Every structure is written in structure tokens, then in C-alpha cells.
Structure 1
């Protein structure tokens, strides 16, 4: 084998006209995935359930093969599309008639914030980092958890928030980036602090340490109490 053999690297033994077949195969693969999304009635990836995402990945893998490999015929890929579509329709029918099946397949909305504090049982089962979660809260206009009355993680991964009125906002855990959210074990000032694990708030005296009565954590951050700017 010759290194940097441009003929092998660019086209190998295929004729130049094979590039036209690749273009046709890519168009076929695109139409198959596009038609599936149109038939399923979904407008975007954020609306896909876990089951639908797996189906799209399966179809995408098959469509990718037919795009690039000359020995993969088109009709079997069309059969993959038909099979997945029938499976999708049967699954939708099953979720409409069985709540247990629907919950098992798509999951249920999960309460993650209640009255400015984390729901610990919910967080322990979620595979999400604090920084990632804080970023999503900031994008929804949250500065600290004391502004939030209720936070629900929907089955599609979106977070739905219900806010306190300005008069009801409480001191809460900051969701700002680390450079704006200092943490301490020994408090530098006598102010209300928020537990960085569960968002419980309490007043702690200067130079004192404390264990959170809610989760046992000993790391705190000064609580914020700013009103929400709409």
C-alpha cells in the first residue's frame, strides 16, 4: 500500500459516476428520516421521547449505511422504515390504552424543586450535573432558587418552572457560575446561607460551621434574595 495515494483516498476503485449514486442514496436516506418525523407528527428533537429517539437513531443508522455502501440495496432500508413506523403506531396505541405502559416507556414528570429547595429523592435518580442544571435555570431567567415555587422536569427533558411573586421571593441558593457563587465550610459573615446540595437555607454566624439538617452537607453558599427581573 502506498501512503497518501490520492486515488485510493478519494475514490478508490469506484468510477467517477459512483458519486452520483452516493448523492442519490444520501437523498433517499434523508427522505426516509424526514418522512418518519413528518408521519410521527414531531416538530423537533426536543419533542422526542426516549422511545422515539431510539427509533430515529435506528433508522438513521440504516439510512447511513445505504448512503455510503454500494452493496446495501434500497428496498431493505424501506422495509426498516415500514417496520419502525408500524412499531411506532402500535406503541402509540398501547400508550393511549395503558397508563402503566406509557409511564414505563416515556417516564413521568418529576418534581425537582419545591418551595425553593431541591427534592432530594428526585435528584438522586437524575443523571445531571449541577453546572448543567444551573445553566438551564439561568437560561429560564432564574438567579436563585428562592424565586422558584415549583420546578418540574418533563418527560422530554425540558424544565417547567412556576415562580413566586415578587413579595413571596425567599433567600435561596444561587445558580450563578462558580466565580459568582462562593462556597464555604466556615462562614465569613453572619448571613443567611444555602446548602449547596439541597438548597436548604438558614442563618449561620460568622466563623461558624454547620451541618445541613436536611441532608447532612457541610458546604454552604451565601443565599441570594433578589427579586426576579422579568
Structure 2
């Protein structure tokens, strides 16, 4: 083998016209995945459940093979498409007939925030990344947890938020990035702080160290009280 053999790297032994065939195969693969999304009634990946995402990934894997490998014919990919579509339709039918089966397959919405505090059992059970969740909250205009009356993690990964009115906003844990949300084990000054793990607000005196009475963690951030700006 000759290193940096550009003929081998770029095209190997295939004729130049094979590039046109690859383009045609790629268009076919795109059309198959696009057709599945249209037929299934979904408008985008954000709406896909875990089950639907597995279906799309399986179809995408088959479509990827047919795009690049000259020895993979097109008709078997059509068979894969029909099989997956049939499986999808059959599973949706089962889910409409049996809510218990639907809950087992796709999961249930999970309450993450209630009255400005994290739901501890939800955090521990679902192993939710705080950084990603904080980013989701910031993108919906949330500055601290006290602004949120109810936060629900939907089965498709979206977060539904219901807010306190301005006069009902509570002191809450900041969801800003770490450089705007310093954490302390020892309070630098007498002030109102929020537990960095569960959001519980607590007045701490200067130089005081304290475990959170709600979750037992020892790190605190200064609690924010600003109302949400629409």
C-alpha cells in the first residue's frame, strides 16, 4: 500500500460515475427517513419519544448503509421501511388500547420543580444533569427557581414550566452559569442563601456553616428574589 495514494483515498477502484450513484442512494435514504416522519405525523426530532427515536435510528442505520455500499440493494431498505412503519403503527395501536403499556414504553411526565424547590425523589431517581436543566430554564426566561410554581419534564425531553405571579415569587436558587452563581460552604456574609442541591432557602449568618435541613447538602448560593421579566 502506498501512503497518501490520492486515487485510493478519494475513489479507490470505483469508476467516477459511482459518485452519481452515491448521490442517488443518499437521496433515497433521505426520502425514506423523511417519508417516515411525514407518515407518522411527527414534525421534528424534539417531538420524538424514546421508542420513536429508536425506530428512526434503526431506519437511519439501514439508510446509511445503502448510501455508501455498492453491494447493498435498494429493495431490502424498502422492506426495512415497511417493517418499521408497521411496527410503529402496531405499537401506537397497543398504546391507545393500553395506557399502562404506553406508560411503560414511553414513560410518564416527571415533576422536577414544585413551588420553587427541586423534587428530591425526581432528581435522585432520574439522574438529571443540573447544568443541562439550568440551560433549559434559562432559555425559557427563568433566573431562579423561586419564579417557578411547577416544572414538569415531559416524555419527549421538553420541560413545561408554570410560573408564580410577580407577587408570589419566592426566594430561589439561581440557574445562571457557575461564574454568576458562586457556591459557599461557609457564608461570606449574613444573607439569605439557597441550597445548591435542592433550592431550599435559608438565612445564614456570616461565617456560618450548615447542612441543608431538607436534603443534607452543605453548599449554598445566594438566593435571588427577582420577579420574572416577560
The runs of at least 4 consecutive aligned structure 1 residues that moved more than 3 Å come to none
Tell me if 1:207 matches 2:207: yes
Structure 1 length as normaliser, TM-score? 0.98
Structure 2: stretches of 5+ with no match in the other structure = none
Aligned to 1:226, the other structure's residue is in SS state coil
Query: What is the match of residue 85 of structure 2?
Result: 85
Distance 2:106 2:73 in 1: 34
Secondary structure of 2:113's counterpart equals: strand
Q: Deviations over 1:58-86 (max 9, x none)?
A: 00000000000000011111000000000
Q: What is aligned with 1:114? A: 114
Whole-Å separation in 1 of the counterparts to 2:154 and 2:220: 29
Q: How does 1:60-209 map to 2 (within 5 A)?
A: 60-209=60-209
Alignment root-mean-square deviation, CA: 0.8
Specify the alignment match of 1:30 in structure 2: 30
Other structure's SS at 1:125 match: helix
Alignment of 1:41-60 (within 5 A): 41-60=41-60
TM-superposed deviation, 1:143: 0.5
Q: Distance in 2 between matches of 1:132 and 1:103?
A: 25
Q: CA shift at 1:126, angstroms?
A: 2.2
Q: Secondary structure at the match of 1:34?
A: helix
Equivalent position of 2:15 in the other structure? 15
Cα distance in 1 for partners of 2:57, 2:223 equals 43
Output one character per residue of 1:150-203: Cα deviation in whole Å (capped at 9) or x when no partner. Answer: 000001100001100000011100111111111111111111110001111111
Q: CA deviation at 1:130?
A: 1.2
* More moved, 103-112 vs 123-132: 123-132
Q: CA deviation at 1:128?
A: 3.0
Give the distance between the partners of 1:110 and 1:48, measured in 2 at CA.
17
Distance 1:127 1:226 in 2: 29
TM-score by length of 2: 0.98
* Structure 2 Cα separation of the partners of residues 194 and 229 of structure 1: 21
**CA deviation map 1:28-58 (0-9, x unaligned):** 1111111100000000000001000000000
